[in-house]
Structures are given as C-alpha cells and as structure tokens.
Amino acid sequence: SYNLERAGFAVSMAGDGIGGLELARQLQPSLIILDVMLPGLDGFSICRTLTRERAVPIVLLTALQDEAHRIAGLELGAIDYVVKPFSMGELLARVRAILRWGERQRDQPVADVLTAGELQLDRVSRQAWLAGQEIELSYKEFDLLACLMRHSGVALERDQLLELVWG
C-alpha cells in the first residue's frame, strides 16, 4: 500500500478476507489487488464473489506458482495473476495498464440507468427523471444521488460519502 500511495493511488486495505470483501462492496474500487492466501476467506472465494456482483478488475497476488493455480485464478474472473516475489515497478505498470484500459472502456458510452421507484438517473447523459418528469440537479447533487442509488439499502457514513462523491 505504501508504494501504491507514493505512486499517487488512493489505497484502502483489509487484514483478512471477510473484511476485504466488505470493504470492496462498500467502496466499489476501480481495481482490487487481492492476495490469494488470506485468513477468514481466501482470495479465490473473494474473487469469485466480487466478479459475480459487478465488473471490477482484480489482480491476484500469490506465492502459489503452479500453472493450475494461475489458471484457476484467471478462470474465476481475475484480470491478472502476479506471483511473489515480484518487483514493485512491474506491479505498478500492470496496475496503470489495467486502469488505462478501464478508462478507454468508460469513454465508450453505454446506457447506464439507475432506478429507484419512480426515480431514474442516466449516468451517461447525467439526466434525472421523477415520475417521467425531468428534474434539474447540480453536478454534485447528481453525483450524490447516483452514489446513494448505487448503494441502495446500505447505510453510508459521512466519510464514505465524501470519498465516493467528492474524492
């Protein structure tokens, strides 16, 4: 985490698999670097669960070097598999490459509509409708409403909202 932060990335960490899964669900990060051998819940299980829930690039880190483990990790949905020991330069290059690819994908508009009851938000066109009537929202009002709708049913703390909406 130290090296990633020094490279300019915002980093959140968990000490075990269960905490990591919960943190990933709460923060919805742009990229997850996941150790395979974690206490509580292993990285393969977390990878399987997260890739079923949403599209998120996952890089697996492990000391397990055999081909079967690498194949298993990639088949579960990981986008990359890095074997320990590794150089920090290589890991940072892989992270940057994955994030660049993700940015190019986001530049291609796709319908992205959130719905809650009679409220609809189109995150691509940044338009909102309530009961079919378009409503005007400021930039941050739209972002805040979209964040709350994406996390429907989850009580978000003030600090989480500040991070998710204001960065």
Conformation bin of residue 166: beta by default, left when phi > 0, alpha when psi is -120 to 50? alpha
pLDDT in tens, 22-54: 999 999 899 999 999 999 999 999 999 998 888
pLDDT in tens, 106-158: 655 555 789 999 999 988 788 999 999 999 988 889 989 999 998 888 888 88
**CA 129 remoteness from chain centre:** 27
Task: Give me the helices (H) in 42-123, please.
Answer: 43-53, 67-75, 88-106
